[in-house]
Each structure stands twice: as C-alpha cells, then as structure tokens.
Amino acid sequence: MYRLGVLLSGRGSNFESILKAIESGYIKNGKIVVVLSNKANARGLEKAKEAHIDALFVNPEGLSRDEYDRKLVEILRSYNVDYVILAGYMRILSDCFIDSFEGKILNIHPALLPSFKGLHAQRQALEAGVRFAGATVHFVTKELDSGPIIIQSVVPVFDNDTEDSLSDRILKSEHKIYPLAVKLLCEDRISLKGNRVLIDGDFLDEGFFAINPVGGGRDGV
C-alpha cells in the first residue's frame, strides 16, 4: 500500500477527486495519510479532517523557502510518505524538497504542456487563440512545469469562452485524469525512459476519453 501525502493551498477539489477514487476502490493500492497546506483557511484541510485524515496547516511566516520546505519534508517523512501529490499547491518547491522526493512528486497543470506554463494558463490559451486546451499530470522536476508527462486531457475552446468557463471545463477533466494517474502509479504501471513516461497496459478503457467538439466521439469528461 503506497502512502500518499497531499499539498494544497485552496479548495482541494483535485484532492477530493483522488480521495473519492480511493474510497470507491478505483485506486486500490494507495492511501492518503496526511494533507498539508500553507494556508490556514484552505478548504481542502477541512475536507481532509471530515475524512479523518491528518490535516495540518504549516505556517510559512518568517521562513525562507528552503527552511519551509525542509519543514514540510520532515513532516512528510514522519508519515513515511511514498509519493507527494500537489493538488492546487500555490508555492514553487525548492530544490531541497524536490531532491528529497525525486521522481516521487506529481502535479496537475491546467494546460497541454509544454504550452502555457506558469500562472493563468487558461488565460494564456485564450489569448493565443488555440482551439484545444486541457490538463496535464506530470512528474515534478526543478524546471517549472517541465517534468515528464504522465497523462493529458483535451477539451475544446469555444468562441464564447471566458477564462472562467474554460477553467471549469478543464477542471472537470482534471478530476478524471488525476485519479487515473494516481491509480496507474499505485499499480506500478508507470516507468520512465528518458523524459518519456511509459505506461504498462492499456489505460484508455479506464473511462477517460477526450471531448470531441465536432461530435461523433465518446465524451467521458
């Protein structure tokens, strides 16, 4: 059973989607053992407590980034965490944190990486005039939003989209692909070849299909 630690800063909707997948048995070999946040009022902490998961606010005030991240590492190690799941965690991890869990940190980004890295990815997509956007689950490396890609979802961009409407559509797809990525990870079906993630077996039958905006496709988002 893999022990998962979650870092979040806000509502924790992706954390909740992973938790529901564990509770339903979709993810069979993973357990969330602790949830940490840099925000005392993060709704995700309350959701974790409601699920009887240890949920801790770790105050970053007065600490350098390295000092704060070393504190997080100490807590995660005290829970014997195997993998770290970033679920709306709004701080850039320091090198010392990434070194401590190298190859063991997952993140989800609301864009089809390597396009539109960083903040406001949905706004970047609209400003670029793309016809498709999406989300990417990837391993975290020291270069921002550049780690090996595990899985991506694709959603259409409509002419009348706003940043909010596109964000909502992408978020729905995030709630499908993040649990799927964690499932694959906990089943030991993921391996790395250079910068490419290889997945053992077919995973498209897990219920994930990209939206086809022109019809005729299967819509699982």
Tracing tokens 């005392």 back to the chain, one arrives at: 40
| Burial status of residue 95 (CB atoms within 10 A of its CB: 0-12, 13-18, 19 or more) | exposed
- CB burial readout 47-79, b (16+ within 10 A) else e: bbeebebebeebebeeeeeeebbbebbebbeee
- Coil vs helix vs strand at 94: coil
Active-site residue (options: 52, 109, 138, 175): 109
Cα 193 vs. chain centroid, distance in angstroms? Answer: 21
Q: How far apart are the first and last CA of the chain?
A: 29
Catalogue the long-range contacts made by 191-194 (C-beta closer than 8 Å, 24 or more residues apart).
Answer: 192/103, 192/139, 192/148
Catalytic site includes residue 138: no
| Residue of 94, 187, 174 whose CA lies nearest to 137 | 174
Residues noted as catalytic: 109
